[in-house]
Chains A and B, each alone.
Chain A
Amino acid sequence: MGKGKLYRVLMHFTTPLHIGEKEKIYNITQTFAHSDMLMSGIINAYSLLYGNSSTNQLVESFLQKSLPFEISSTMPYVGNEFFVPKPIGLHLHLYKDRGIIEVEKDKEIKKVKFIREKDLLSNFPGKYRVAGSFLQPKDMLHKFGDSEKAPSLGKIKERARVSIDRLSSSSNIYYFSHFEFKDNAGLWFYLRINDQSLEDKVKAAIRLLGDEGLGGDRTCGLGSFKVNFEECSMPEENDRTKYYMSLSLVNPQSEDEIKSALYYEILTRSGYIYSKAGLGIKRKAVRAFAEGTVFSGKVCGRVVDVTPQNFSQHRVYCFGLAFLVPLPEGVMMIGN
């Protein structure tokens, strides 16, 4: 956790978004970009703007663990409400028993995936309800329209793609799904700039990424967004901070970091190389702690070399650097 200037970066999508969870299976869609994918998008945009040698220098500083900047994964926002993943291991049943969360059926609690950041970081000062996959203040329901029970980010739609033979005009059709965000909803992520001399360049790369698009089918206009950088701050930690939650994927750099994961999920990250060399070659798969993983102390994570064998154009990396937030004192975790 660096000490640089912190921004909330708002991505306001101007076109639908397609993020494939399983590569080459076009009809499965996932709405969020993990930190490794976002980072590779930023680095690619940086390289388009500033060329190979500056980009190699930038990547080298990440490898040397002097992080020029840090990012989280992308998370949803609706209106001015910023959501973060529910910390894995957060004991919502205890919050219910204390009258903080009101539910009709216990199983509603299981559905909670996202919590407003400010509620989590102040350990739930009000009364709350479960609305779809969101936990939100009881009196907030009206904010998202009378007819809707839960804040809605948008809609999943199916898209057809057709390829047509030039001479016979016979056609081949395949489908994939994409997500259309509502006008007042989108994704956001944290950006912390540690090397001030790079601030303008990193922001430029993120703006360019917005024009180029994130996710699949970019050249057909998908995944474009407008960027807004809002300066913000993180709650102070103190000696009594017991838990740190990750808002990014984390690939642990040591045995100690693995041991400090108290509540976790593990994801496998794989896929194809995307770069200017642009090859449809599979990179090595790596495993990482998912967003929402709770650690007993600060962890750094690392950048993993996932260059496949017999691939010589350039190195391929998966960013598994941790972006942490301290959880507040008194937060109630399972078994504790």
Chain B
Amino acid sequence: MDVILKGKYIIKCKIKAVTGLHIGEGNNSIEIGGIDNAVVKDAEGKPYIPGSSLKGKMRSLMEFAEGKVKDDLMVVAVKKGDKPEICIHMCDDKECPVCGLFGRNHGKHVTKKEFLKDPKAEGRDFSDAVIPTRLIVRDAKLIESSITDEMKENLDLEWTEVKFENNIDRITSKANPRQSERVPAGAEFSAEFVVNRYEVDGSDDGEKYLSKFIKAMKLLEDDYLGGQGSRGNGKVKFVDIEIFYKDSSDYEKDSNDLKPIATAPSLDQL
């Protein structure tokens, strides 16, 4: 297989937290005097949105939207004994928009259907369909000025608010108060996504994957990012969108000032 890079679509925009945003560190270790449900922060202590969270959520939403969440189209990513603990979609269909955009993992995969029939099933190698992942999602950094002085007055910490939540155990009815950190509504992050345009064995992607990616952005706006989404957290909106195209021949030049091929204040105006 010959895969040649034709160019890159670079999507720059802001991600605006419409409601409070909680992307946890996933770390339940409690620092004494610390917050037991903290948000991810960079080396300077500022919250950010990890590229992996954005990418993971968008992939998951695309899988549903493209009709890929079916037992014979899902593979077992993590198993616990005989149970398929974590299943995600992955396939060897060369035209699959989900795998084409978000990528395939190396090695052998067993579908959920096969696994349920036989937990010892060996699975198959998708190698023939593996090409470099088209989508690159960078970490989205907090735009400091988006947290205004007025907002700061209501914050518990420098960039974030801390909410007490009272979770009630359904079975014992015991209250379990815990605190949880959130990035306040109104905060903005600067985001960058790259969609590679390939020519695979002579066939040019064109704008196919760019439009699939914009669809994924729209799906995310209608869903939520991070934790506690069902309680109103994590609604985000893409604003001040700019799309650039970098041709592969640009790499031979010393510097290149790219001009946007499209700009829009929001996705529905793109």
A207 and B130 contacting across the interface, CB-CB below 8 Å: no
Which residues 70-115 in B have Cβ within 8 Å of A in the complex? 74, 77-78, 85-89, 102-103, 105-107
* Size bin of chain B's contact surface: 35 or more
B60 and A203 contacting across the interface, CB-CB below 8 Å: no
Do A51 and B4 form a contact, CB below 8 Å, given A164-B60, A166-B60? Answer: yes
* Size bin of chain A's contact surface: 35 or more
A166 and B25 contacting across the interface, CB-CB below 8 Å: no
Q: In whole angstroms, how far apart are the Cα atoms of A251 and B26 in the complex?
A: 43
Do A159 and B77 form a contact, CB below 8 Å, given A51-B2, A170-B86, A221-B137? Answer: no
Q: Which residue of A lies closest to B136 (CB)?
A: A219
Q: In whole angstroms, how far apart are the Cα atoms of A51 and B77 in the complex?
A: 32
Which residues 142-166 in A have Cβ within 8 Å of B in the complex? 154-155, 157-166
Besides A157-B42, A279-B127, 14 more A-B contacts (Cβ < 8 Å) are A49-B5, A49-B251, A160-B40, A170-B86, A171-B86, A205-B251, A212-B136, A218-B136, A220-B55, A220-B136, A276-B3, A276-B131, A278-B106, A280-B106
Smallest beta-carbon distance B114→chain A, Å: 17
Do A166 and B130 form a contact, CB below 8 Å, given A172-B85, A219-B137, A276-B3? Answer: no
Q: Which residue of B lies closest to A224 (CB)?
A: B138
A52 at the interface (CB under 8 A from B): yes
Do A15 and B3 form a contact, CB below 8 Å, given A166-B87, A207-B251, A278-B127? Answer: no
Interface residues of B, dominant DSSP: mixed
- Which residues of chain A are within 8 angstroms of B86 by Cβ–Cβ distance? 163-165, 170-172
- Which residues of chain B are within 8 angstroms of A161 by Cβ–Cβ distance? 52
Closest 6 A/B residue pairs (Cβ): A280-B106, A221-B138, A221-B51, A160-B26, A204-B251, A220-B52
- Which residues of chain A are within 8 angstroms of B77 by Cβ–Cβ distance? 163, 172
Q: In whole angstroms, how far apart are the Cα atoms of A79 and B149 in the complex?
A: 34
- Which residues of chain B are within 8 angstroms of A217 by Cβ–Cβ distance? 52
Smallest beta-carbon distance B253→chain A, Å: 8
Q: In whole angstroms, how far apart are the Cα atoms of A170 and B107 in the complex?
A: 23
Instruction: Pick from B50, B137, B251 the residue with the most CB of A within 10 Å.
Output: B251
Q: In whole angstroms, how far apart are the Cα atoms of A104 and B102 in the complex?
A: 54
- Which residues of chain B are within 8 angstroms of A15 by Cβ–Cβ distance? 138-139
- Ordered by A's residue number, 6 sampled pairs between the chains whose C-beta atoms are within 8 Å are A51-B2, A162-B52, A165-B87, A205-B251, A220-B55, A278-B130
Q: In whole angstroms, how far apart are the Cα atoms of A64 and B136 in the complex?
A: 36
B26 and A163 contacting across the interface, CB-CB below 8 Å: no
A278 and B132 contacting across the interface, CB-CB below 8 Å: yes
Q: B252 is contacted by which of A51, A157, A200, A224 (Cβ under 8 Å)? A: A200
Smallest beta-carbon distance B54→chain A, Å: 8
A70 at the interface (CB under 8 A from B): no
- Which residues of chain B are within 8 angstroms of A51 by Cβ–Cβ distance? 2, 4
Do A201 and B252 form a contact, CB below 8 Å, given A163-B78, A278-B127, A279-B130? Answer: yes
B146 at the interface (CB under 8 A from A): no
Smallest beta-carbon distance A231→chain B, Å: 12
Which residues 35-55 in B have Cβ within 8 Å of A in the complex? 40, 42-43, 50-53, 55
Q: Which residue of B lies closest to A209 (CB)?
A: B251
Taking beta carbons and an 8 Å cutoff, which residues of B are in contact with A?
1-5, 8, 25-27, 40, 42-43, 50-53, 55-56, 60, 63-64, 69, 74, 77-78, 85-89, 102-103, 105-107, 125, 127, 130-133, 135-139, 192, 194, 248, 251-252
Q: In whole angstroms, how far apart are the Cα atoms of A16 and B125 in the complex?
A: 31
A257 at the interface (CB under 8 A from B): no
B139 and A221 contacting across the interface, CB-CB below 8 Å: yes
Q: In whole angstroms, how far apart are the Cα atoms of A48 and B197 in the complex?
A: 11
Q: In whole angstroms, how far apart are the Cα atoms of A162 and B64 in the complex?
A: 19
Smallest beta-carbon distance B47→chain A, Å: 14
B131 and A219 contacting across the interface, CB-CB below 8 Å: no
Which residues 13-64 in A have Cβ within 8 Å of B in the complex? 15-16, 48-52
Q: In whole angstroms, how far apart are the Cα atoms of A207 and B176 in the complex?
A: 52
- Which residues of chain A are within 8 angstroms of B74 by Cβ–Cβ distance? 166
Do A167 and B1 form a contact, CB below 8 Å, given A160-B25, A219-B133? Answer: no
B5 and A166 contacting across the interface, CB-CB below 8 Å: no
Q: A276 is contacted by which of B1, B56, B64 (Cβ under 8 Å)? A: B1
Do A172 and B51 form a contact, CB below 8 Å, given A49-B5, A157-B43, A279-B106? Answer: no
B107 and A280 contacting across the interface, CB-CB below 8 Å: yes
A52 and B2 contacting across the interface, CB-CB below 8 Å: yes
B4 and A48 contacting across the interface, CB-CB below 8 Å: yes
A208 at the interface (CB under 8 A from B): yes
- Which residues of chain A are within 8 angstroms of B105 by Cβ–Cβ distance? 280
Q: Which residue of B lies closest to A55 (CB)?
A: B2
Q: In whole angstroms, how far apart are the Cα atoms of A276 and B88 in the complex?
A: 23
A234 at the interface (CB under 8 A from B): no
B60 and A49 contacting across the interface, CB-CB below 8 Å: no
- Which residues of chain A are within 8 angstroms of B102 by Cβ–Cβ distance? 219
Chain A 87-118, CB-CB to B under 8 Å as 1, else 0, gives: 00000000000000000000000000000000
Q: A277 is contacted by which of B27, B52, B87, B127 (Cβ under 8 Å)? A: B127
